[in-house]
Structure 1
Amino acid sequence: MQAAKPTEFDIGIASDLHRWRAFVAIAELGSITRAALFLDSNQSLLSRQLNALERDCGARLFTRTGRGVQLSELGAHVFPRVKALLADAALLDADIRGEALAPTGRVTLGLLPSISQTITAPLFAALRECFASVSLKILEGSGGQVEEWLADARIDIAILYRYGMSAHEMEQSLAVVDSYLIGPRRDALTRNKTVAFDRLDGLPLVLPSAPNGLRRALDSIARQRDIALSPAIEADSLPLQKSLTARDGLYTVLPIHAVWHELEDGSLQAARITDPPVQRTISMAMARSKNPGRAVAAVASQIEAIVREMAETGIWHRERPQASTGA
């Protein structure tokens, strides 16, 4: 039965959802610059959108501070209702596009190079088979860079190394990785399956520069054991660390999965560091300023499955790191 007359809506100020999407991003990130990065826009365009929105509202939605922006009284009042409006619009869009039935869209991952070369290929294959409408964007960087991208919401998922026993808030621990002393072909020290940490004393090492999680862990243990780590060169590039070790008779410290192919072709050797072991946790984190969508959840579940399957090969293991890491 049809209604006697159509429902009337007055949606003048609320009609442009793109401007209100920018409003929510600026409010959650506290910065127009960060919101522009998150929305893949530019700062000047976002500023113009915000100015136009405030003119339509007849009042300021934000107050400017030396460290960014914060919601004004009006902005704080309308923020939860605007966010609910956008959430309803997103659900409508998902229903129209069929996303409620199958995940779709692009998911951006921030990865460390040593993890990227191990996870990316099987992840792409799994998504192509199970979630063909989900695409990947991969950003590789150092731990600090990946954390910065995560804070700025430039990535949806970050895969990081963590050191020590305590788990970081809002992160999921996936696996525990042992560290190995990596040496060149036919090297006597790394010919054995294990090597005591104290044997690193005075070795010509190629190590990442500080600040770096592995470097902090190694330096901390070395101080406790009163030995000297002697980097012959500092290099943050994984390919450079491996090539210098293979060709110039240096040593480096890496997880086994970072040198898997080199061990197979015999260009490098690896001995697991013991007494004490140097362990790191592979951790997965989501961007806090984003509500994980179906596509992000699908990718995260595939990453968990891949890490679990790889643990069965011995490339890493699932138990908690030992307390003797010194980190």
Structure 2
Amino acid sequence: MDFRRLRYFHAVAKAGSFSRAATEIDIAQPALSRQIKQLEDELGALLFYRDGRGVHLTPAGELLIAFADSMIDGSARVAREIRALGGAPQASLSLGVLPSLSTALLEPLVVRLHERHPGIRLNVREAMSGTMMNLLQDGKVDIAVVYEGRMPSSIVAEHLLADAVCLVRRPRQDGIASVSGAMLERLPLVMPCRNHGIRQLAETQLTARNLRLDVRFEIDSVPTMKRLVATTDLATLLTYGAVAEEVRAGELEALPLVEPALERRLALATAGVRIDAANRIVVRAVQSVVHEIAQSQHWTAPARFARAF
């Protein structure tokens, strides 16, 4: 199969129009149409349905686009790795970060990459863990920090950090040093919605003890929850890492949970494809920064890093 024609087919499929694709790849539209016709003749199948609004993939086209995605992505990765052999990696990558971790992680990570690897451009996306898994599978992020748990077989992950779940509230002088499940049941809470990992974990553990959470407000925003508990009598459940900075500043108080004690285990994940030199640099930088943060801010220490990446 002619790789140039495969790239032309890929461009038309992504653009949904011969004219738009021709403009994007800088080729005359009649020439592009001829190349696609020759590819269809070579394969003996129609690849596009054409109508007044553009083009749509036929069943044969749907099969070919999956192959084309893999081939074109692979060729770009190989080209980056070959270029990296001659010097510093030059690449644009997308990193997914949990909102609860972004405040602590991003500044030192960006500084490190900027100083040591100026050829790497990083696009950062924040999302909850479930959404992040979808972004990984859809190829919209290259690397992501997610919570460990059941993952699709296409995802490759390695352990990054075990972080304790705490009751977070406004600092009070009431002598309480830890919070049991029975105490937690009596506290008014602001929590993320039920599909959030910490909410699911807490409710599962409490239900097993015939206890329940008193959730007064549901808000899927970690910064908003932190502001609310800092200024009201509401409390919430977050990992210690999500509030370490505010705890050190005296703005929030984080009390360990007992009976049950809860923790979230963070992992560094990719979509199961072999990653190149630039990706490995970002992976190692994330691991190193997390390790340093865990030691300096007294988070639970990470396990020895595996070599999945």
> What interval of TM-score do these two structures reach, taking the shorter chain for normalisation?
0.7 to 0.9
Q: Indicate if the aligned counterparts of 2:163 and 2:266 stay in contact, CA closer than 8 A.
A: yes
Aligned partner of 1:293 in structure 2 is 276
Q: Number of paired residues?
A: 281
CA distance in 2 between counterparts of 1:74 and 1:245 reads 50
Aligned partner of 1:104 in structure 2 is 90
- How big is the shift at 1:287? 2.9
Aligned partner of 1:55 in structure 2 is 37
- How big is the shift at 1:150? 1.1
1:302 lines up with 2:285 in the alignment:
yes
- How big is the shift at 1:265? 2.2
Q: Indicate if the aligned counterparts of 1:181 and 1:253 stay in contact, CA closer than 8 A.
A: yes
Q: Indicate if the aligned counterparts of 1:203 and 1:251 stay in contact, CA closer than 8 A.
A: yes
Q: Indicate if the aligned counterparts of 2:40 and 2:46 stay in contact, CA closer than 8 A.
A: no
Q: Mark the CA change 1:292 to 1:44 in structure 2 (over 3 Å): closer, same or farther.
A: farther
Deviates more, 1:114-123 or 1:306-315: 306-315
1:208 lines up with 2:192 in the alignment:
yes
1:254 lines up with 2:229 in the alignment:
no
Q: Mark the CA change 1:94 to 1:61 in structure 2 (over 3 Å): closer, same or farther.
A: farther
* TM-score normalised by structure 1 residue count: 0.73
- How big is the shift at 1:242? 0.7
- How big is the shift at 1:156? 0.7
Identity among equivalent positions (%) equals 24
| Cα-Cα RMSD | 3.5
Aligned partner of 1:131 in structure 2 is 117
Deviates more, 1:173-182 or 1:261-270: 261-270
**Cα offsets for 1:293-319 (capped at 9, x unmatched):** 221111011111222223323213335
Gaps of 5+ in 1: 1-10, 24-31, 37-41, 321-327
- How big is the shift at 1:106? 1.4
CA distance in 1 between counterparts of 2:76 and 2:128 reads 37
- How big is the shift at 1:88? 5.7
Q: Secondary structure at the match of 1:217?
A: helix
**Cα offsets for 1:116-159 (capped at 9, x unmatched):** 11111111121122211112111112223212211210111111
Q: Give matches, 1:1-327, under 5 Å.
A: 13-15=2-4, 18-19=7-8, 22=11, 36=14, 42-44=15-17, 52=33, 54-59=36-41, 60=45, 72=60, 79=67, 87=74, 91=78, 95=82, 97=83, 100-163=86-149, 169=153, 170-186=156-172, 188=174, 191-192=176-177, 194-288=178-272, 291-313=274-296, 314-318=298-302
* TM-score normalised by structure 2 residue count: 0.77
Gaps of 5+ in 2: 23-31, 50-55, 305-309
CA distance in 1 between counterparts of 2:61 and 2:245 reads 58
